[in-house]
Chains A and B, each alone.
Chain A
Amino acid sequence: MKTYYSFFAILITIFCFSSLKGQDTIFKKPIKLSNVTITDKKSEDSLFKISSSSFLDKKILNNVSYNSVGEAAKFIAGLNVKDYGGLGGIKTISARGFSSLHSAVVLDGVPINDMQNGTIDLGKFSLHSAERISFFNGASFSLLQSARALSSANILFIESLPPTFENNKPYLLNIRSSYGSFNYFSFGADLSNRINNILSSKLDINLNNCAGNYPFLLHYGYNAEDSSSKERRKNADYLSLQASWDLFLSFNSKTDVKLKTYYFYSQRGLPKSTTLYYLNSSQRLWDENIFVQGVLNHKFNDRIEYRSMAKINYLSTIFYDGFALNYEGFQRDKYFQREYFLNNAFSYRITSLAFLSFGNDLIYNNLNSSATYYKTPSRFSAISYINFLFENSGFTLNTNLIHNHIEDFLNPQTLNKVSNRLSPYILIGYSFKNNFNISFFYKDIFRSPTFNELYFNRVLPSELSAEKAKQYNLHLSYLKYFDKEKKNNISISIDAYYNEVRDKIVAVSQKNLFIWSIVNFGKVDIKGVDLQTSFSYSLPFSFDIFLRGVYAFQKARDITDKTLKTYNNQIPYTPINSGSLFVLINHPIASLSYSINFVGKRYAIAENIVQNLLKPYNDHSISIEKTFKIKNNKLNLSLSCLNIFDAQYEVVKNYPMPQRQFRINLKINF
C-alpha cells in the first residue's frame, strides 16, 4: 500500500509544481498555443508516408452527420466498430483481428483506461469537440508519449479542438443544436476565452438526449422469405451530459501546460438483444466519469525536451434491473474505479538526425465492485520505454523497447501476481524522391487480463497470463501534389500485414453453461490488406472536391485446435471485406457530403455456419451544409439523412441498427 501513497504524493507535487510555476513566470509574449499533439513535429503527410496510420481531420469530422467519435471511427481502414445500435448503444473499436483490448484510446495525450472490462465506449466522446482523430498500427513516432499507450498493438488518438479566436476578439462562443428522428436532441456550447497572454481557456458542454425507440424489422428465421414483423426498440432512451474545461498556459516558447477537467454523466435503458416473442427489458445503466489531467511540456535547450502527464480518474457504473427473479426481486450492481496516472518523458537530440527518448508511466488502478467475487482488486503498473529515431531525407529507423511491470492485488493486502515483460518494436522505412515510400514494422506486444477476466464469477483467482500479439506490417504509400500549395493532391497507401495472437484469453465453459472460466486458450492468425486513398482537387467555378476511400481485407483464422469445428474459421465479428467512401464537394454557396460504409458478412459465434451469419450491409448518409453571415456572426445550418436507403442491419447479433434518420443541425458563433 506504500506505493499507493508515495505515488499519490508525487502526483500532487507535480500539480503543485506546475501551478506554482504559473504564478512565478509571467512573460509578455504573444500567446502561442502549442496544442499537445501526439504527432509532435511531424506533419500528417510525413506520418502517412512511413507509418501504418489513418487520419480523420476537420474536413471529415465537420461534414459527417455523426455525433460521436465511435461512429466516425468507422471511416478508418481496418478498424471494426462494434455498435449496439442507436445513440445509447455502446461503441467500441477493434483493429486487424485483435480484440478491442489491444487498442489504446488516448485523449489529448493521456490514455483512457478501464481496468474492469478493458474496453472504452467511444460513444462517450463528442465529435464536435474533436479536432482530429488519428489511428496508428504498431506505434506513433512521437518521442514523448505515454508508455501505456505505446505498449498496445494499436492506438487511437483523439485530439480536442483548442481554443479558437477570430478577429482579435478575446473570446469566441459557439452554440450548436441538433434535432432529429426518434426524439433526438443535442445541444452544445463552447466558449474560448483569452484571459491574458499566458492563459487561455475553453469550456465545452455537450448534452445529448434520445428516445431511441426506433422501428426495426424483426426476422424470425434465417431465410429472406421467413416471417418478419415491424417492431420498435423498447427501453432504449439515452441522456448524456459531457462537460470539459481546458486551461492552456503558455509561459514562453519553452514551457506550456495544459489542464483538462472532464465530466461525463449518462443514463440509459439497455434494450437487450431482440429476444424473439418477448421484447421487454427493464435494465438500466448509469455512468459517471470525472477526471483531471495535466500535460506539462518544457524545452530545456535545443537538445533536451521534457514532458510530464498526470491524471486522476474516477469512474462509476451502476447497473440496475428492476425485474430480476432473485430473492430481492431486483439486481443492482455497482462498480467504482479509480486511476492515478503519472508519466514522465525526456527526449534527447543526439545529432540533427538522431533522437533518443525515455518515458515512464506509473499507474495505479483499483475497483470496488459489488458483483465480482473479489470486491476490491487493484493493479499497479510501471511501464517504461526507450525509443530511438533516426531520420534523414530518405531513410527512417524507429525502434523501441518497452518494459512492463505489473502487480495485481486481490485486495489491498494480498498480492496475487507480479509479471514483467519486455516488448520490442522496430520500423524501417525509405522514401524515394518523397513520392513513393516503403516501410516495414515488427511489434511484439501483449495485453494483460482485465479485472473481469481475472476475478469475475470466480472463487479462485484465475491463473491467467497475458495475451500475446505479434505484428508484421509492410507499408507502401504514394503521395503526389499537383500544385505548390499542396491543395490538390492524391495519396494512396497499401498495408499488408500478418498478425498472430497466442494465449488468447477466451471464456470456456466448465461443467455447464453457468460456470465459465477464462483461460489462455485461443490462437488466431490474421492476414490482411488495408487500402487507403484520398484525393483533393480544386475544380472550376469554385468547386472543391475531396474523396476518401478505404478498403480492408482481413482473414482472421481461429487455429486453436484442429479437432474443433471452429478450426480455420473466421473469428467472430470480423468481416473479411469492409470499407468506406467519403465524398465532399465544397462550394461557397453550400457544401455537400456523401458517405458509404460497407461491411461484409461476419459471424456472431466462432463457427462459420449460416445460423451465426450476420449479413453484409451498406449504410449511406448524406449531408448538406450552408453558412450564413449575419453581421459579424456566422450561422451554420446543415441537414442530414443517415442510412438513406433504410438498410436494416445489425453490427452485433440481435441488436438492430436504426433505419433512415433525419437530422437538422444549427451552429452559431458569437
Chain B
Amino acid sequence: MRKNVFYSISLIALIAFGFLGCSEEENEKTNSENLLEKGLFVLCEGLDGMNNSSLNYFKSSSNEVIDLFNEVNGQSLGDLANDLIEKDDKLFIAMKNSACINVVNKSNGKLIKRIPIVDNSGRNRMPSRMCSSSNKVFLCCVDGSVVEINAKALNIERIALAGRNPEAICYLNNKLYVSNSGGLDWNTSIGYDRTVSVIDAYSMQEIKKIDVGLNPAFIKPLGENKVGVLIKGNYADIKGKFVIIDALTDEVEQEEEIAMSNFDVLDNSIIYTNFDWTTFLPSIKKWDFTSGETFFSSSEIVSSISSPYGVNVSKENNEVYITDAKDYASSGEVYVFDLNGNFKYSFSTGINPSIVISNK
C-alpha cells in the first residue's frame, strides 16, 4: 500500500516535471553585413494586428532573402506596412497601424528616423501611400490629410486636406493627385467616394476635385501630362475601370472598362495584373491606351501565381516584379520577368509582399 502511494506520487511528479522541462531553442541571428550588395528591397505588408510587416532583401548573387530591417535594427517595422518609396539615399516606409514613417538608410538598412504620423490629439492619421518631389516626400493618410515631409531634415512641414480616406497619391508638375476611396463608409449610406483631389504642391491647398468613378485606388503619372487612376468599383455590381486624367486641364480624358487589381507604368503603356473570379485564373497584361490589351507574359508560370498583388517596373534593371500574396496569410513570393515578359526567376518572401525596389 505505501508502495502504491509512493509510486503514484512519483508518477504525478514525473508528468509534472516532464512538461516543465520543455523549452524552445532560440532561432539563430544571422549577422548582417554593413553594406548591402546588389539586390532587391521587398516590402511585405504583414497582417493587421500581427506586427509582422517586414522589409526583406533579396541578394542577387546568392539568391538569399533576409529579413533586413529586423536583422539590422533588432526590431520589427511595425503593423501593416502600406507603402515603400525611395528618395535619394533613403527608403521611406509608411506604417498604417503603427502611425509612423520609418526612414531607412538605403545602403545598409539602418533606421534613420521614425516620424510619428499623428494628429494634434495624438491619434493615428493612418499613413497610406507616398510620393516625392525634388526635395519633399508627400504622404496621404486615411484621415484625409496630406503630409509634407522635408526629405533632408525629415520633419513634417505642412498638412493639406484631401477627401475621404485617401488611398494613393502621385506627384506631377508641382501638383499632387490624391485618390479618395471613402472606403471606411463602404457599408453606410454615405458609401464610397469617387473623387481625385488635386493639390497645389506649392501652397498645399486643394485646387480641384475630379469625379473619376466609384472607389478610386492606385494612382500614378503616365508620362509627362497624364495621370492614370485605377477605379475599383464596389466589388459587386459596379465594375472597376481605368481612368486617365489630363494633367493640363485636370479633367478625365479617357476611361476604359478593364478589370485590374494593380498596375505600374512602362514607357507609354501600363502593365497590370488581374484575377478572374469566374475562371480562377490570374493574368498579367499590357495596355498602351489606344489599341486592345495584350498578354504581357505568356509564360506558364503566370498561372501558378495564386494572388497577384503588387506590380513594379524597374527601368534600372529592365525587370518587372509581380508579387504573389498567396492566401494573404502565409509567406508570399516575388516573380521576376524581363521587360518582354519572359520569366527569369522567383523567390519567397514574408507575408503579403507588395512593393519591390531595386538596389544598384
> Please, what's the 1-or-0 string for A501-519, where 1 marks a CB less than 8 Å from any CB in chain B?
0000000111111110000
Q: Report if A37 contacts B (CB, 8 A).
A: no
Determine whether the beta carbon of B328 is less than 8 Å from that of A535. no
Which one of A223, A549, A615, A654 contacts B51 once the chains associate, using CB atoms below 8 Å?
A: A654
* Interface SS of A by simple majority: loop
A537-B5, A551-B19, A565-B331 known; A220-B74 Cβ under 8 A:
yes
Which one of B19, B29, B123 contacts A600 once the chains associate, using CB atoms below 8 Å?
A: B19
Min distance, Cβ B280 to any Cβ of chain A, angstroms: 10
Which one of B4, B26, B123, B142 contacts A224 once the chains associate, using CB atoms below 8 Å?
A: B26
Determine whether the beta carbon of B98 is less than 8 Å from that of A277. yes
Chain A residues near B187 (CB, 8 Å)?
A: 371, 373, 457
Determine whether the beta carbon of A223 is less than 8 Å from that of B74. yes
Min distance, Cβ B114 to any Cβ of chain A, angstroms: 7
A227-B75, A278-B100 known; A547-B20 Cβ under 8 A:
no
Determine whether the beta carbon of B8 is less than 8 Å from that of A222. no
- How many angstroms from the CA of A654 to the CA of B51 in the assembled complex? 8
A223-B26, A278-B97 known; A492-B11 Cβ under 8 A:
yes
Chain B residues near A480 (CB, 8 Å)?
A: 4
Determine whether the beta carbon of B330 is less than 8 Å from that of A565. yes
- How many angstroms from the CA of A371 to the CA of B236 in the assembled complex? 18
Min distance, Cβ B2 to any Cβ of chain A, angstroms: 10
Determine whether the beta carbon of B329 is less than 8 Å from that of A598. no
Determine whether the beta carbon of A280 is less than 8 Å from that of B122. yes
> Please, what's the 1-or-0 string for B140-161, where 1 marks a CB less than 8 Å from any CB in chain A?
0011100000000000000000
Determine whether the beta carbon of B190 is less than 8 Å from that of A221. no
**A residues 566-620 in Cβ contact with B at 8 Å:** 566, 577-579, 581, 596, 598, 600-601, 604-607, 609-613, 615-616, 618
* Interface SS of B by simple majority: loop
Q: Report if A276 contacts B (CB, 8 A).
A: yes
User: Which B residue sits closest to A579, measured CB to CB?
Assistant: B19
Min distance, Cβ B189 to any Cβ of chain A, angstroms: 9
Determine whether the beta carbon of A653 is less than 8 Å from that of B50. yes
Min distance, Cβ A235 to any Cβ of chain B, angstroms: 13
**A residues 220-258 in Cβ contact with B at 8 Å:** 220-227
Which one of A326, A565, A596, A654 contacts B326 once the chains associate, using CB atoms below 8 Å?
A: A565
Determine whether the beta carbon of A577 is less than 8 Å from that of B19. yes
Determine whether the beta carbon of B352 is less than 8 Å from that of A277. no
Chain A residues near B182 (CB, 8 Å)?
A: 327
Chain A residues near B351 (CB, 8 Å)?
A: 605, 611
Determine whether the beta carbon of B70 is less than 8 Å from that of A327. no
A222-B27, A276-B79 known; A596-B20 Cβ under 8 A:
yes
- How many angstroms from the CA of A45 to the CA of B114 in the assembled complex? 62
Q: Report if A482 contacts B (CB, 8 A).
A: yes
Determine whether the beta carbon of B99 is less than 8 Å from that of A278. yes
* Chain B interface size, under 10 / 10 to 19 / 20 to 34 / 35 or more: 35 or more
Q: Report if B78 contacts A (CB, 8 A).
A: yes
Q: Report if B126 contacts A (CB, 8 A).
A: yes
Min distance, Cβ A520 to any Cβ of chain B, angstroms: 15
Chain B residues near A227 (CB, 8 Å)?
A: 74-75
Q: Report if A426 contacts B (CB, 8 A).
A: no
Chain B residues near A549 (CB, 8 Å)?
A: 12, 15-16
Chain A residues near B123 (CB, 8 Å)?
A: 280, 282, 323
Determine whether the beta carbon of A327 is less than 8 Å from that of B75. no
Chain B residues near A514 (CB, 8 Å)?
A: 183
> Please, what's the 1-or-0 string for A615-628, where 1 marks a CB less than 8 Å from any CB in chain B?
11010000000000
Determine whether the beta carbon of A326 is less than 8 Å from that of B184. yes
Q: Report if A396 contacts B (CB, 8 A).
A: no
Q: How many A-B residue pairs have CB under 8 A?
A: 184
Which one of A220, A323, A510, A531 contacts B15 once the chains associate, using CB atoms below 8 Å?
A: A531
Chain B residues near A610 (CB, 8 Å)?
A: 27
Q: Report if B275 contacts A (CB, 8 A).
A: yes
Q: How many residues of A contact B (CB 8 A)?
A: 71
Q: Report if B278 contacts A (CB, 8 A).
A: no
Chain B residues near A457 (CB, 8 Å)?
A: 187
- Chain B CB within 10 A, most for which of A225, A277, A280, A551: A277
Min distance, Cβ B209 to any Cβ of chain A, angstroms: 16
Which one of A277, A512, A596 contacts B100 once the chains associate, using CB atoms below 8 Å?
A: A277
Chain B residues near A630 (CB, 8 Å)?
A: none
Chain B residues near A371 (CB, 8 Å)?
A: 187
Determine whether the beta carbon of A482 is less than 8 Å from that of B1. yes
- How many angstroms from the CA of A581 to the CA of B328 in the assembled complex? 39
Q: Report if A273 contacts B (CB, 8 A).
A: yes
User: Which A residue sits closest to B182, measured CB to CB?
Assistant: A327
Determine whether the beta carbon of A490 is less than 8 Å from that of B4. yes
Chain B residues near A604 (CB, 8 Å)?
A: 50
Which one of A226, A280, A490 contacts B8 once the chains associate, using CB atoms below 8 Å?
A: A490
- How many angstroms from the CA of A551 to the CA of B187 in the assembled complex? 47
**B residues 295-321 in Cβ contact with A at 8 Å:** 307
Chain B residues near A596 (CB, 8 Å)?
A: 16, 20
Determine whether the beta carbon of B15 is less than 8 Å from that of A611. no
Q: Report if B292 contacts A (CB, 8 A).
A: no
> Please, what's the 1-or-0 string for B40-84, where 1 marks a CB less than 8 Å from any CB in chain A?
000001011111101000000000000100100111101100000
- How many angstroms from the CA of A6 to the CA of B155 in the assembled complex? 69
Determine whether the beta carbon of A564 is less than 8 Å from that of B327. yes
Determine whether the beta carbon of A601 is less than 8 Å from that of B24. yes
Chain A residues near B20 (CB, 8 Å)?
A: 596, 598, 618
Determine whether the beta carbon of A327 is less than 8 Å from that of B27. no
Chain A residues near B76 (CB, 8 Å)?
A: 220-222, 276
- How many angstroms from the CA of A444 to the CA of B143 in the assembled complex? 51
Chain A residues near B79 (CB, 8 Å)?
A: 273, 275-276, 278
Determine whether the beta carbon of B327 is less than 8 Å from that of A508. yes
Min distance, Cβ A613 to any Cβ of chain B, angstroms: 8
User: Which B residue sits closest to A607, measured CB to CB?
Assistant: B330
Min distance, Cβ A450 to any Cβ of chain B, angstroms: 19
User: Which A residue sits closest to B186, measured CB to CB?
Assistant: A514
Determine whether the beta carbon of B9 is less than 8 Å from that of A547. yes
Q: Report if A459 contacts B (CB, 8 A).
A: yes
Chain B residues near A509 (CB, 8 Å)?
A: 307, 325, 327-329
Chain B residues near A566 (CB, 8 Å)?
A: 327, 330
Min distance, Cβ A322 to any Cβ of chain B, angstroms: 10
- How many angstroms from the CA of A596 to the CA of B16 in the assembled complex? 9
Determine whether the beta carbon of A273 is less than 8 Å from that of B49. yes
- Chain A CB within 10 A, most for which of B26, B27, B182, B329: B329
Min distance, Cβ A227 to any Cβ of chain B, angstroms: 5
**A residues 289-344 in Cβ contact with B at 8 Å:** 323-328
Chain B residues near A323 (CB, 8 Å)?
A: 123
Q: Report if B185 contacts A (CB, 8 A).
A: yes
Which one of A492, A510, A606, A615 contacts B330 once the chains associate, using CB atoms below 8 Å?
A: A606
User: Which B residue sits closest to A490, measured CB to CB?
Assistant: B8
A533-B15, A577-B19, A600-B19 known; A609-B331 Cβ under 8 A:
yes
Determine whether the beta carbon of B50 is less than 8 Å from that of A605. yes
A280-B122, A327-B188, A549-B16 known; A605-B329 Cβ under 8 A:
yes
Min distance, Cβ A36 to any Cβ of chain B, angstroms: 34
Which one of A482, A581, A611 contacts B5 once the chains associate, using CB atoms below 8 Å?
A: A482
Determine whether the beta carbon of B330 is less than 8 Å from that of A325. no
- Which 8 A-B pairs rank lowest in CB-CB distance, beginning with the nearest? A220-B75, A326-B184, A509-B328, A607-B330, A278-B99, A226-B74, A273-B49, A581-B16
Q: List 28 A-B contacts (CB under 8 A).
A: A221-B74, A224-B26, A275-B51, A276-B51, A276-B98, A277-B98, A277-B114, A280-B124, A325-B165, A326-B188, A327-B182, A327-B188, A509-B307, A509-B327, A511-B277, A513-B45, A535-B8, A547-B12, A549-B15, A551-B18, A564-B330, A566-B330, A581-B12, A601-B24, A607-B330, A611-B350, A612-B52, A653-B50
Given A326-B185, A565-B326, 7 more A-B residue pairs with CB atoms under 8 Å apart are A221-B70, A221-B76, A222-B76, A277-B98, A509-B328, A549-B15, A566-B327
The chain A residues found within 8 Å of chain B, CB to CB, are 220-227, 272-278, 280, 282, 323-328, 371, 373, 457, 459, 480, 482, 490, 492, 508-515, 531, 533, 535, 537, 547, 549, 551, 564-566, 577-579, 581, 596, 598, 600-601, 604-607, 609-613, 615-616, 618, 653-654
